[in-house]
Structure 1
Amino acid sequence: MITKLDLYKVFCQVGKNKSFSKAAKELYMTQPAVSQSIMQLERELDTRLFTRTPKGVILTNEGKILYEHAISAINLIDAGEKKLLDSKNLMIGDLKIGVGDTTSKYFLLPYLEEFHSRYPNVKLKIINRTTLELCSLVKSGNIDIAICNLPIEDSSIEIIECMEVHDIFVCGEKFKNLTSSPLNFEDIVKLPLILLEPKSNSRRYVEKFISSKGVQISAEIELGSHDLLLEFAKINLGIACVVKEFSSNYLENKILYEIKTVEQIPKRNIGFGFLKSVSLSPASKKFVELLCKEK
C-alpha cells in the first residue's frame, strides 16, 4: 500500500523533472502509477498541483507552495538516512568510555589506539572515575562502556572479563629484608601499609579477601592513584598493595621488590560492562568486538 510519504516522494520527483514519464523512470515506476499517485494526493488535499503543458507539467501556485516544503522534508529524511548509514559504517559517531586512571594507562590505551586508527571519524570521550562511579554512569546513559576492576555485582550490567590481574605487596630497599620468606597476612597488616582509597574496587577486593581470613587490614597512607602507590613504596614510605601486571617495570628493574605471602590473594579480572537493557551503538559494538578479539 502506498503511504503518504510515498505520495510526496512522487510529487517531488514530478515537480523536479516537470514530467510524469521522467519521474516514473527515476522512481522505477510506470507512468500510470505516477499519474495515479498525483491524482490521489490532489484528491486528499483537494487541490490541483500540476498544470499540463505541451512539454510536460508545471506546478500550480498551490503546488509551488507545497513543493517548497515537501522537498525540504524529503531532503532532510534523505540526509537522516545517509547519516544513519554513515553511523553504521562508522564514518561518523561517538563513543563514550568510562575507565579508571590506572586501567586507562595500563590496559585501555592500546585498544584506543587501534580503534582510532580503524575509525578515525568516531569521536572519543574518555571519563575517569572509580568502578562504582562508572557503574552509575553506565546506568544513567552518560557512558556507553565502562572498563572496570572486577568483580561487579549489578544485574543490570553485562560484564565481560578481559585480563587477569594479581594483587601483591611490594616494598623498596629499606624493607627488602621482608622478601626473604613468605609472610602471613597477620604479619602483613602489622607493617606500614600504603593502600588505595577505600572507595576503590581494587582495595575493597583485597580487604574482603583478607578479612575472610579473620584479619583486618588498615592503611597508614591512602592514595588515589596506582602510580603513586609505586612511587611512595619506592621512597620507602611503606609497603604498597599493587597490581603485579601494572608494576612490571618497577619489579623487573629491581626498583621495588615483591613481598610473597603464604597464601596468595586470588586473581581477579579487568573487564568491561554495558547496560543489558539498551542496544549498543555501532561504535560501541565495534569497540566491544575489538576488546573481545584480544581475549
Structure 2
Amino acid sequence: MVSKLDLYKVFWKVALSKSFSKAAKDLYMTQPAVSQSIMQLERELDIRLFNRTPKGVSLTNEGALLFEYVSSALNLIDVGEEKMLEFKHLTAGQLTIGVGDTISRYYLLPYLEAFHMKYPNIKFKIENGTTLELCSMLKSGVIDIAICNFPIEDTTLEQIPCIDIHDVFVCGEKYKSLFSQPISLDEVVKLPLILLEPSSISRKYVEDYIFSKGIKIAPEFELGSHDLLLEFAKINLGIACVTKEFSQEYIEKGLVYEVPLVEEIPKRSVGVCFLKSVSLSQASKKFVEIIENGQA
C-alpha cells in the first residue's frame, strides 16, 4: 500500500522533472506506477494537479500552490533526519544533568571536562538540588540523569554506584586534644554536633546507622551545605559529620582534623541515577559510560 507521503514524493519529483518518465527513472519506478500515483493523489484531493501534453506535464495553478507546501514539508523532513543523525553521532544536542553543589564541585567536574573534550558540540544544562529533589526532577522529565548520593529507596530508578564514599566526623583545633584515642559513637553524640539538614540523604544514612546502635542524635547545628559543615568545624563550633572524600583539602591543610572512631560508619556510594522506564539519549549513555569507566 502506497502511503500519502510516498504519493507526495512522487508528485514533487514529477513537478521538478516535468515528465512522468524522468520522474520514474529518478524514483526507480515504472512509468505506469508513477502515473497511477499521480492519479490516485488527484482522486484523493479531488483536483487536477498537472496539465498533460505530448511534450510532458506542467503544474496547474492548484498544483503549483500544492508544490510550494510539499517542497517545504519534504525539506523539513530532510532537515529533521539530518538532526537525528547529528544527535546519533553526538555532533549536536543537549544533556541535562541534575547534581548537588558538593558532588558537582568535588566529583563531577572532571567528567564534564572529559565529555566536553570528546563531544564539544553537546551543550550542558546543570540543575542543582538535593537527592530527593533530583529524583522528582527525573520523574517529571526535567533532567536526563542525576548524579547523587545512594542509597535511594525507589524501585522506578536505575542506580549505578560509581565511587565509594565515607562519612566521618571532623573537628577544629579546639577539640583536637580530646581525640588522642579512638572514641565510640556514644561519646561522639555527647559533643556539639554539626549535621546536614534532616532531608539530606547523607544525614539520614548516618542518623539511621547510629540509631541502629541504639543511639539518638541531637545536633547543635543543622546546615544546608557541606562546605558550611567544614567551616563551622574549622572555627570550633562543634564536631561536623562530613564526606571524607569531599573534605580532603581541609584535612590535608590541617584546617580540620578527622575524629578517630572505634567503629567506622559503613561506606556508601555516589553514582548515576535515571528512570528505568525511559530510554537514555545517546549523549546520556556516553556520559554514563565515561563516569562508570572513570575516564575523567
TM (norm. structure 1) is 0.94
Distance 2:110 2:173 in 1: 32
Counterpart residue number, 1:89:
89
Q: Could you tell me how far 1:185 is from its partner in structure 2?
A: 0.7
Secondary structure of 2:162's counterpart equals strand
**1:1-295, aligned counterparts within 5 Å?**
1-53=1-53, 55-294=55-294
Q: Whole-Å Cα distance in 1 between the matches of residues 103 and 287 of structure 2?
A: 16
- Tell me if the contact between 1:178 and 1:259 (Cα under 8 Å) persists in the aligned partners: no
> In structure 2, what is the Cα distance between the partners aligned to 1:171 and 1:30?
85
Consecutive unaligned residues in structure 2, runs of 5 or more = none
Equivalent position SS for 1:91:
coil
Return the alpha-carbon distance in structure 1 between the equivalents of residues 194 and 96 of structure 2. 32
- How far the C-alpha of 1:208 sits from its partner, in A, is 0.4
Shift of 1:20: 2.6
Give the residue type in structure 2 aligned to 1:79. Answer: V
Deviation at 1:103, TM superposition (A): 0.6
Counterpart residue type for residue 287 of structure 2: F
**Structure 2 counterpart of 1:13, which letter?**
K
How many aligned residue pairs are there?
Answer: 295
1:20–1:293: structure 2 CA closer, same or farther, 3 Å change rule? Answer: farther
1:112 deviates by 1.1
Range with bigger deviation, 63-72 or 19-28: 19-28
Q: Tell me by how many angstroms 1:231 deviates.
A: 1.6
SS of residue matched to 1:29: coil
Give the deviation of 1:109 after TM superposition.
Answer: 0.8
SS of residue matched to 1:210: helix
Distance 1:91 1:25, change over 3 A: farther
SS in 1 for 2:216: coil
Contact kept, 8 Å, 1:229 with 1:240, in 2: the verdict is yes
In structure 1, C-alpha distance between the alignment counterparts of 2:185 and 2:3, rounded to whole Å:
74
State the Cα RMSD in Å. 1.7
**Distance (Å, rounded) in 2 between the aligned partners of 1:27 and 1:183:** 82
Q: 1: distance between equivalents of 2:210 and 2:168? A: 12
The amino acid that maps onto 1:253 is K
Deviation at 1:45, TM superposition (A): 2.9
The 2-side partners of 1:52 and 1:107 are apart by 70
1:209 CA drift (Å): 0.2
- The secondary structure found in structure 1 opposite 2:242 is strand
State the identity as a percent: 68
Give the stretch that moved more between structures: 160-169 or 27-36.
Answer: 27-36
Give the superposition deviation at 1:55: 4.8
Match of 2:95, SS?
A: strand
- How far does the alpha carbon of each residue in 1:158-177 deviate from its partner, in whole angstroms, 9 at most, with x for none? 11111000000111211111
Q: Which moved more, 1:147-156 or 1:225-234?
A: 225-234
TM-superposed CA distance for 1:53, in Å, is 4.4
Does the aligned pair in 2 maintain the 1:102–1:226 contact within 8 Å? yes
Contact 1:170–1:241 (CA<8 Å) still a contact in 2? Answer: yes
| Farther off after superposition, 21-30 or 161-170 | 21-30
Is the deviation greater in 67-76 or in 124-133?
Answer: 67-76
**What is the CA distance between 1:130 and its match in structure 2?**
0.7
Q: CA deviation at 1:17?
A: 2.2
SS in 1 for 2:135: helix
1: distance between equivalents of 2:209 and 2:251?
24
In 1: Cα distance, 2:200 partner to 2:109 partner: 21
Residues of 2 paired with 1:164 and 1:120: CA distance?
29
Q: What is the alpha-carbon distance in structure 1 between the residues aligned to residue 180 and residue 172 of structure 2?
A: 14
2:69 partner amino acid: H
Between stretches 187-196 and 172-181, larger displacement belongs to: 172-181
Separation in structure 2 between the aligned mates of residue 32 and residue 276 of structure 1, nearest angstrom: 51
Q: Which segment is superposed worse, 277-286 or 132-141? A: 277-286
Deviations 1:192-238 (A, max 9, x none): 11111111110110000001001111211221111111122112221
| Cα shift at 1:249 | 1.6
Q: Distance in 2 between matches of 1:231 and 1:22?
A: 78
Q: How far apart in 2 are the matches of 1:22 and 1:231?
A: 78
